[in-house]
Amino acid sequence: MAFTRITEEELALRGATTLPDAPTIPANQLKQEFDAPAKEVVAPAVNHLMEELEDYPAAASIGAEAPEGRTGRNIQAVLEDISKSSCSQIYRNGVTGAAGAEIRIPASYEENDDRITTNSLVIPFSDYKSNGTPYSFKSLEVNNGYVNITLAEAVSNVTIGVAIFN
């Protein structure tokens, strides 16, 4: 699916460029001619693009650089590659900390033994705040068998973890 683009021909049909160098029309009509390309060409094209982006096949048309160890040249292909992976979740309940605090989570549990490797995709997650948005993180680093998550904001009694895709 290719996204619709505005063409020079569409823009050339409307606007002040179609008027004579010395306009002979009233000021209100002149203003309308100046606004015409944005209102009659650009705004409808942007709205159409939004519809195209919201449609199912759009992800296959948006380029992406696959994370290390993954394949795909567009968002859809990367998601399909990740979906073929096994997924484990490792988390800690009741986390409390100030912004900038580092939370350490073991990189594997004995019961599932899904270890983080250099090809793993590690995505942090958390409970949701009262406004329905998740807590945010400043950074994530895998080091010496642990996932270190640095908090971007203070948390109190929150579940924080990582999803590991191998």
90 shares its domain with 160:
yes
Q: What is the pLDDT along the chain (166 residues), one digit of tens a residue?
A: 678 899 888 888 878 778 888 888 898 988 888 888 889 899 999 999 999 998 888 988 899 998 877 889 999 998 888 888 877 777 888 889 899 998 888 766 544 445 566 667 788 888 888 888 888 888 888 877 788 889 999 988 988 888 877 7
Q: Give residue 147's domain range.
A: 85-165
Answer for the pair 97, 103: CB distance below 8 angstroms, yes or no. Answer: yes
In a domain, 160, yes or no: yes
150 shares its domain with 94:
yes
In a domain, 41, yes or no: yes
**Which helix H or strand E contains 157, and what residues bound it?**
strand 155-165
| Distance, CA of 10 to CA of 158 (rounded, Å) | 53
161 shares its domain with 105:
yes
91 shares its domain with 153:
yes
In a domain, 70, yes or no: no
In a domain, 150, yes or no: yes
Q: How many domains does the chain have?
A: 2
Helix (H, G, I), strand (E, B) or coil at 55: coil
41 shares its domain with 90:
no
